[in-house]
Structure 1
Amino acid sequence: MTAAIVPAWARRFTTSLGACRSGVAMVEFALCLPFVVTFAMSGVELTNFTTTKMRMSQIALHVADNASRIGTGTLLSSKQISEAQINDLLTGAGLQAGQLDLYTNGRVILTSLEPVANPNTTSEFKIRWQRCRGAKNWPSSYGDQGDTDLDGITANGQLITAPDDGAVMFVEVSYTYQPLVTSVFVPKTEIVEIGAMTVRDARDMAGPTGGVGIYNAENVTASTCA
């Protein structure tokens, strides 16, 4: 039986086809593309999550710091704080958050921790007043306005107490993370940050008669936590 004779042009075409590698890179890229996109998306999402968490931490510290400084009065008198001043610093927190839309996706709780004037103990504290802003349904994790007989506020394993005749401004910021693409790549979607600062100057803690230590001569709407 005589073997079939392969034309020379057919042998050249077969050889050149076997040596051709022009489509290999495209096939390899197509196979790797899903993994590359996944890694890139996870990196971007994690970076955005970390940045958002850092900004919430900064907001908590700034609100606590500003709350510890507010008040009107002279060097010879105790400063009076007002509902308008508290509203202003909460508004400032929203502006600082910018496009994160803090008060739509989160909540800020400002608490005044003060010592209780009790001759039988030196380690009793109370929450004299508390102010909140934000649409998120999230109650304080550390107590509510009017709570007494407290040892202080324990946060992140540390006990926070107020000095005699003073107060500590304690801030909680809760925010629901808004992903760029998907929340699958982030460890959690609920971000909670805290901040605390001791009141800098002598402050009129009692306030007007029948109140909680906050004046309201401007007759503004208080940012209560109801």
Structure 2
Amino acid sequence: MKHKLALLRTTARRFGRDTSGLALLEFAFSLPIVLTMSLTGAELTNYVITKMRLSQIALQIADNSARMGSGSQLESKKVYESDINDLLTGADFQSGQMGLFTNGRVIISSVEPHETTANKYRIRWQRCKGSRTAWVSSYGNPTTTTSVDGVGPTGRQVIAPPSGVAMFVEVRYQYQPLIKTSLSPTTEMNEIASMMVRDARDTSDDSFITVNGVKQSNPNAQHPNGVYKGGVTASTC
């Protein structure tokens, strides 16, 4: 009996001094923490890259929308619906695998001076594209935004130059996670950008005609609110 107790004590002391499996045990305890930190880091990196790409897309759309139009140096540039559609198609190509119009929506607004009130501005026309049709502009539309101090967030409002035009772009996107949405700061991204139109732009409007001294809607308008139809389907909002 004493021999068995002595053997048990010896075995217990030997196990107590044995540290051969300590590293494996520590690794097993720390693995969930290390794995969570690694996955979170990867997700945050993907989130930041996606947001940066979205910001660049918004800026590119604003820049291209400020340059678009057809015309010579001797006349004001005319903007056609086909120009706007080409602009949006280019944005889709630029987004690549992000799927900009599958997972998001682009809203382009033409900000122009109010026709009669000084230092007031309006959204003259607006075009949209993207499957997220429930997302509307956060800063107005041609129907309601007709006389404001500027278009955009407080402190960063966009105004148009006298007799000129400014293009204001909103890009909204449903973030597509690399691993899991809960590891990212938000699930919805919003970016804005604006550019002044450098060249003179034709903003003529034939929405109305006068018949026998009475102003009425023009049933055959070809350039309502300054955008020429050109025989293509408009990307209306």
SS of 1:159's partner is coil
Shift of 1:6: 6.2
- The root-mean-square deviation of aligned C-alpha atoms, in Å, is 2.1
Range with bigger deviation, 39-48 or 178-187 = 178-187
Contact preservation (8 Å) 1:80, 1:207: no
Counting only pairs closer than 5 Å after superposition, residues 46-195 of structure 1 correspond to structure 2 as 46-118=44-116, 121-136=117-132, 137-146=134-143, 147-155=145-153, 157-195=155-193
- Distance change (3 Å), C-alpha of 1:154 and 1:10: closer
The structure 1 residue matched to 2:233, chosen from 216, 221, 224, is 221
Shift of 1:173: 0.4
Q: Which runs of 5+ in 1 are unaligned?
A: none
Cα separation, 2, equivalents of 1:148 and 1:160: 14
Cα separation, 2, equivalents of 1:7 and 1:38: 46
Range with bigger deviation, 205-214 or 182-191 = 205-214
Cα separation, 2, equivalents of 1:172 and 1:50: 18
Shift of 1:142: 0.7
- Distance change (3 Å), C-alpha of 1:221 and 1:67: same
Cα separation, 2, equivalents of 1:208 and 1:48: 48
Cα separation, 2, equivalents of 1:89 and 1:123: 30
Contact preservation (8 Å) 1:112, 1:167: yes
Shift of 1:156: 5.2
Counterpart amino acid of 2:76?
A: S
Shift of 1:8: 10
Provide the aligned length of Structure 1 versus Structure 2: 220
Cα separation, 1, equivalents of 2:205 and 2:35: 59
Deviations 1:146-184 (A, max 9, x none): 431122113252221101111100000001111111122
Task: Tell me whether 1:201 sits opposite 2:213 in the alignment.
Answer: no
Match of 1:212 in 2: 225
Cα separation, 2, equivalents of 1:129 and 1:8: 94
- Distance change (3 Å), C-alpha of 1:194 and 1:145: same
Query: 1 or 2 for the larger relative contact order (CA 8 Å, sep ≥6)?
Result: 1
Q: Which runs of 5+ in 2 are unaligned?
A: 208-220
